[in-house]
Structure 1
Amino acid sequence: MNLLEQSESCEGLCQERIPRVTVVQIGSRRNYAVPIALAQAGALERLFTDWYAGKDLLTRTADWISRRVPSRILARAAARTVPEIPVEKVVHFPGFAVAYKWKKYWAARYRESPRAYIWGGQRFCKAVRDYGIPACDAIFCFSSVAKEIFESPVASNTLRILDQEIPPLAYEDRLVREQEAAYPEWTKPRPAQAGVEEYTERQREEWVNSDIILCPSRFCWQALATEKAPLEKVRILPFGITSRFFTGHLPRERNHHFTILFAANSPVRKGLPDLVQAIELLNSRNIRVILAGDMSSLRAEAVSRTGRVAEMLGCVTRPKMVELYRQADLFVFPTVSDIFPAVVLEAMAAGVPVITTPNCGSGEVIREGVDGFIVPIRSPEQLAEKIEYLVTHRNICVDMGRNAYERAKEYTVDHYRERLLSLLREELHRRHQT
Structure 2
Amino acid sequence: MRIALVSDCYLPRLGGIELQVHDLAGHLIRAGHHVTVFTITDGPASAGDVPVLRLPAVAGVPLAVAVDRLRSALPSFDVVHCHSSLVSPLAWKAARLTDRAVLTLHSLPDASVPWPAAGIARYVGNVHWTAVSEAVAGELRRLLPDRPIGILHNGVDPVLWRHSRRTDHPLTIVSTMRLTRRKRPMALLRILEEIRAAVPSTVRLRAVVVGDGPRARAAAAAVRRRGLDEWVDLPGRLTRPDIQQLYASADVYVAPAELESFGVAALEARCAGLPVVAMASGGVGEFVRPGVEGFLVNGDSEMVATVANLLIDDALRYRIQRFNADTAPAMTWQHVVRQHLAVYRTQHALSGQYLTSAS
TM norm. shorter chain > 0.5: yes
Pairs within 5 Å for 1:135-284: 135-143=76-84, 144=88, 145-152=90-97, 155-156=98-99, 159-168=100-109, 171=110, 174=113, 203-206=120-123, 209-226=125-142, 228-230=143-145, 232-242=147-157, 245-248=160-163, 250-253=164-167, 257-266=170-179, 269-270=183-184, 271-273=187-189, 275-284=191-200
Which structure has the highest strand share of the two? Answer: 2
The residue aligned with 2:335 is 415
The residue aligned with 1:293 is 211
Look up the SS of the partner of 1:233 in the other structure: coil
The answer on 1:355 being equivalent to 2:300 is no
CA 1:237–1:306 in structure 2 vs 1: closer, same or farther (change >3 Å)? farther
Q: Displacement, 1:283?
A: 4.5
The answer on 1:340 being equivalent to 2:262 is yes
The residue aligned with 2:26 is 36
CA contact (8 A) 1:348 1:407 kept: no
Q: Displacement, 1:216?
A: 0.9
Counterpart pick for 2:321 among 401, 410, 417 = 401
Q: Displacement, 1:267?
A: 6.3
- 1:373 counterpart letter in structure 2: F
Q: Displacement, 1:371?
A: 1.2
User: Percent of counterpart pairs with the same letter?
Assistant: 20
- 1:264 counterpart letter in structure 2: M
Instruction: Structure 1: give runs of 5+ residues left out of the alignment.
Output: 1-18, 56-79, 104-115, 175-195
CA 1:299–1:423 in structure 2 vs 1: closer, same or farther (change >3 Å)? same
Pairs within 5 Å for 1:47-196: 47-50=37-40, 55=45, 81-83=47-49, 85=50, 87=51, 90-93=52-55, 96=56, 100=57, 103=58, 116-117=59-60, 119-120=61-62, 124-129=66-71, 131-143=72-84, 144=88, 145-152=90-97, 155-156=98-99, 159-168=100-109, 171=110, 174=113
- 2:218 counterpart letter in structure 1: S
* Whole-angstrom CA distance in 1 between matches of 2:353 and 2:121: 28
- 1:350 counterpart letter in structure 2: A
CA contact (8 A) 1:289 1:309 kept: no
CA 1:300–1:433 in structure 2 vs 1: closer, same or farther (change >3 Å)? closer
Counterpart pick for 2:286 among 336, 344, 364 = 364
Q: TM-score w.r.t. structure 1 length?
A: 0.66
Look up the SS of the partner of 1:425 in the other structure: helix
Look up the SS of the partner of 1:141 in the other structure: strand
* Whole-angstrom CA distance in 2 between matches of 1:224 and 1:24: 20
CA contact (8 A) 1:278 1:383 kept: no
Provide, for residues 164-188 of structure 1, a one-character-per-residue CA deviation record: whole Å limited to 9, x for no partner.
Answer: 12334xx3884xxxxxxxxxxxxxx
Provide, for residues 42-92 of structure 1, a one-character-per-residue CA deviation record: whole Å limited to 9, x for no partner.
Answer: 33364434468664xxxxxxxxxxxxxxxxxxxxxxxx5122x3x4xx544
Q: Which moved more, 1:337-346 or 1:347-356?
A: 337-346
The residue aligned with 2:15 is none
Provide, for residues 254-311 of structure 1, a one-character-per-residue CA deviation record: whole Å limited to 9, x for no partner.
Answer: 76x3221123332653341452253144043213322323431348456421616742
* Whole-angstrom CA distance in 2 between matches of 1:204 and 1:431: 17
Over alpha carbons, which structure has the higher Rg? 1
CA 1:252–1:172 in structure 2 vs 1: closer, same or farther (change >3 Å)? farther
- 1:220 counterpart letter in structure 2: V
Instruction: Structure 2: give runs of 5+ residues left out of the alignment.
Output: 12-17, 355-359
* Whole-angstrom CA distance in 1 between matches of 2:317 and 2:176: 20
CA contact (8 A) 1:147 1:209 kept: no
CA contact (8 A) 2:43 2:54 kept: no
* Whole-angstrom CA distance in 1 between matches of 2:159 and 2:67: 34
CA 1:301–1:23 in structure 2 vs 1: closer, same or farther (change >3 Å)? closer
The residue aligned with 1:10 is none
CA contact (8 A) 2:39 2:53 kept: yes
Q: Displacement, 1:361?
A: 1.8
Look up the SS of the partner of 2:235 in the other structure: coil
Q: TM-score w.r.t. structure 2 length?
A: 0.78
CA contact (8 A) 1:259 1:327 kept: yes
Aligned Cα RMSD in Å? 3.3
